[in-house]
């Protein structure tokens, strides 16, 4: 077994759509599991239509989160096809990932209670919107709804007077997929000892609440509700983007030592000993006095030149890059996180084993391309 494919030999059935369940499936597929993605024959995973741009029958979301998987087209309303899928799960699957609307899988005989009763070794991951239990458990949900409901939008953006701003990537969906994968991996490890599977539950709501741990802690400690801080961070100053002659540069002087070095760089060493700025807490309280001083300095410098000066002083900094710049970033290339194979590029899994990253095996599949190969024997039963 390859060190980058520790899940080789495991079979995962993904009854999922959009981002959360597919991202969980992607993680397991990248780690070597055989992931069989179940899609509705009438259009497939809704993420296929999220575009443009499009490559064949898929948009960017689908392409990004469904490589290294097989696609089977199953009409879950059709008893024969549904029974074939169930037989496949009972005979071959180690894991099922499901993010259908709450209660839908159970009504079809594909829920956790039914399948784990028939196959006690099965690990069934239910990835819901609002979670198991609670009066909102049956409500549907998407990433922006959770960013809104759980307060992420309240701490994102430039100010509370401006319209709400969503984090520009599907952080709640992808986070829920990560928690699903963590739960599944822990359950597989436990099953090695006990032989018993289990039900793993997580949700978009719980994931969004988890991402809000620091603002919640601040509130519970008496700090009040957190407001948006633009590129900055509540509780740390200076720790934000500053404008230069040639673009934005984030400077993160996250402790007193780094702040002292920054004061030397900007030619104001006396600020480090000023009682208004000598500790991070005081800098936060008096940032309206401090930040303009730093802004005046950065505005007089070219971004690349200033970055070099900060690097020499070991002060953490980074330019604000766009997607094109990131894709062509030399460091990203050197790390191999932007992978290239068969004329395609994609983002690899952000983990390496013995310095080797899990490799690209196959592109995201066309709808139902593997139906006959995977389900033929069960459809004949």
How many other CB atoms are found less than 10 A from the CB of residue 80?
Answer: 10
Tens-digit pLDDT profile for the chain (381 aa)? 678 899 999 999 999 999 999 999 999 999 999 999 999 999 999 999 999 999 999 999 999 999 999 999 999 999 999 999 999 999 999 999 999 998 899 999 999 999 999 999 999 999 999 998 899 988 989 999 999 999 999 999 998 889 999 999 999 999 999 999 999 999 999 999 999 999 999 999 999 999 999 999 999 999 998 899 999 999 999 999 999 999 999 999 999 999 999 999 999 999 999 999 999 999 999 999 999 999 999 999 999 999 999 999 999 999 999 999 999 999 999 999 999 877 788 999 999 999 999 988 899 999 999 999 999 989 876
pLDDT of residue 250: 98
Dist CA 84 CA 67 (whole Å): 24
Report the sign of the C-alpha dihedral through residues 324, 330, 332, 336, in that order: positive
pLDDT of residue 1: 61
Structure tokens at 291: 């930040």
Can you list the domains of the chain with their CATH numbers?
Answer: 11-211+338-379 (3.40.50.10540), 239-319 (3.30.1540.10)
pLDDT of residue 67: 94
Q: Which residues lie closer than 8 Å to 294 by C-beta, 6 or more apart? A: 238, 242, 251, 262, 266
Dist CA 205 CA 135 (whole Å): 13
Phi and psi at residue 41, to the nearest 5°: -60, -25
pLDDT of residue 345: 86
Dist CA 214 CA 219 (whole Å): 9
pLDDT of residue 159: 85
Dist CA 354 CA 331 (whole Å): 19
């Amino acid at each position: 077994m390859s060190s980058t494919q520790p899940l080789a030999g495991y079979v995962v059935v993904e009854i999922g759509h959009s981002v959360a369940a597919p991202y969980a499936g992607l993680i397991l597929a990248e780690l070597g599991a055989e992931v069989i993605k179940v899609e509705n024959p009438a259009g497939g995973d809704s993420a296929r239509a999220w575009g443009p741009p499009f490559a064949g029958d898929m948009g960017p979301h689908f392409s990004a989160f469904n490589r290294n998987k097989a696609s089977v087209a199953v009409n879950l309303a059709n008893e024969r096809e549904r029974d074939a899928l169930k037989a496949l799960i009972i005979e071959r699957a180690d894991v099922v990932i499901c993010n259908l609307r709450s209660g839908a899988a159970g009504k079809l005989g594909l829920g956790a209670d039914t399948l784990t009763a028939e196959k006690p070794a099965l690990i069934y991951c239910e990835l819901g919107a609002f979670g198991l239990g609670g009066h909102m458990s049956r409500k549907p949900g998407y990433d922006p709804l959770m960013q809104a409901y759980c307060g992420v939008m309240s701490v994102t953006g430039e100010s509370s007077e401006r319209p709400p701003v969503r984090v520009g990537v599907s952080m709640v969906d992808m986070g829920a997929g990560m928690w699903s994968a963590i739960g599944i991996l822990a359950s597989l490890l436990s099953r090695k000892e006990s032989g018993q599977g289990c039900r793993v539950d997580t949700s978009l709501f719980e994931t969004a609440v988890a991402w809000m741990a620091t603002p919640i802690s601040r509130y519970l400690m008496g700090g009040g509700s957190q407001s948006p801080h633009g590129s900055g961070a509540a509780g740390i100053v200076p720790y934000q983007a500053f404008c230069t002659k040639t673009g934005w540069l984030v400077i993160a002087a996250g402790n007193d030592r780094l702040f002292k070095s920054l004061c030397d760089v900007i030619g104001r060493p006396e600020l480090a000993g000023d009682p208004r700025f000598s500790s991070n807490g005081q800098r936060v309280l008096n940032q309206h006095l401090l930040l303009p001083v730093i802004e005046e300095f950065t505005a007089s410098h070219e971004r690349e030149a200033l970055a070099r000066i900060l690097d020499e002083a070991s002060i953490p900094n980074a330019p604000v890059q766009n997607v094109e710049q990131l894709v062509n970033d030399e460091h990203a290339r050197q790390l191999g996180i932007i992978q290239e194979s068969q004329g395609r590029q994609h983002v690899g899994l952000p983990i390496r084993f013995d310095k080797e990253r899990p490799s690209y095996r196959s592109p995201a599949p066309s709808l139902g391309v593997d139906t006959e190969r995977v389900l033929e024997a069960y459809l004949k039963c």
